[in-house]
Structure 1
Amino acid sequence: MTSIKHLFVIIFFALNFPAFSQTTYPKITGYFGVMHPLVTFSDQATNVNFRDYYAVGFPTGINIWKSSKIGFSFEVVPNIKVQGDSDKVTNLLFHPGVLIALGKGYTFAGRAAFESSGRYGFTPVINKTVIKSDNCSYFVAVPLPVRFGNDHPATFTVGFQFGIAF
């Protein structure tokens, strides 16, 4: 009988003290990823990655979740391009934005984009956590960058990203 009393006491405390069962906000997480732009469209051309060149970005950032539903993210993305015998860092992207949890492991990120190349724009991103553990989680994402400026035509890109958050 005393074990049943103990069980009721444990349940009472777990239900009445949310710190035992909920995350405390604000919650700060960091992440690192690899982003492959797959295809870029403009009114002048369609450029496909992996065909004539290889481009890759390395998004690194911090997310500050205000609640379980909304947060702020700041990301920096160095981009590298390999073409023929040449490879170089082509751009550094500053990428602040808002995070909206959509449920079932999905998150929407709406980001402003400011590139060191002189381009600017916005990037909507759909993110999905695919593996979650106590120490980290692994994710995949589809970024859809739209860019303007620097005497180039407007572009729309479809990308694929994967990474780790901790």
Structure 2
Amino acid sequence: MAGYLGVLHPLVTVERNRSETNFSSHYVVGFPIGMNIWKTQQLGFSVEIVPTIRAENGTGRVTNVLFHPGVLVNLGHDFTFAGRLAFETSGRYGVTPVLNKIVKRTKTNSYFVAVPIPARFGNNRAASVTLGFQFGIVF
């Protein structure tokens, strides 16, 4: 069992005939907080909660909280695949495949980088796909 904290930056979101990039007219950041439970060395379960903050026009606010359970698959060489379900307080839902890599190990924790690719549906909006970058610490 391991807990982790991270910082998530959605880089670009594509929805129908438009795209939206982070860091342009606004800034969005998420803070994944989760727990991994490994059943075997190859297969595990993970659950995370991700509050998201959006800063725009001089103000910031929590815009969404994501409940993100999923399956972990150890790919070897410190790579892990996470296949997650997604349930957002914004009314959206979907799936998030994530490729994760441990980049540094110490005696007490590990540091990781990850590339999530969320696909979202629902809430009277077109389907969307986002490319993100995440980093964090496992303890």
Distance 1:153 1:123 in 2: 17
Higher strand share: 2
Residues 4-33 of structure 1 deviation map (CA, whole Å, 9 limit, x = unaligned) = xxxxxxxxxxxxxxxxxxxxxxxx100000
**Partner residue in 2 for 1:80:** 53
**Secondary structure of the residue that 1:50 maps to in structure 2?**
coil
Instruction: Report the TM-score, using the length of structure 2 for normalisation.
Output: 0.99
Task: Give aligned pairs, total.
Answer: 139
**Partner residue in 2 for 1:54:** 27
Equivalences for residues 109-124 of structure 1 within 5 A: 109-124=82-97
Equivalences for residues 1-166 of structure 1 within 5 A: 28-166=1-139
Distance 1:99 1:158 in 2: 20
Structure 1: gaps of 5 or more residues: 1-27
Task: Find runs of 4+ consecutive structure 1 residues off by over 6 angstroms.
Answer: none
8 A Cα contact 1:64 1:72, kept in partner? yes
Q: RMSD of the alignment, in Å?
A: 0.5
Structure 2: gaps of 5 or more residues: none
Structure with the larger RCO, 1 or 2 (CA within 8 Å, 6+ apart): 2
Distance 2:103 2:26 in 1: 29
8 A Cα contact 1:44 1:153, kept in partner? no
**Secondary structure of the residue that 2:113 maps to in structure 1?**
strand
Residues 24-51 of structure 1 deviation map (CA, whole Å, 9 limit, x = unaligned) = xxxx100000000000001141000000
Higher helix share: 1
Larger Rg: 1
| Overall identity of the aligned pairs, in % | 58
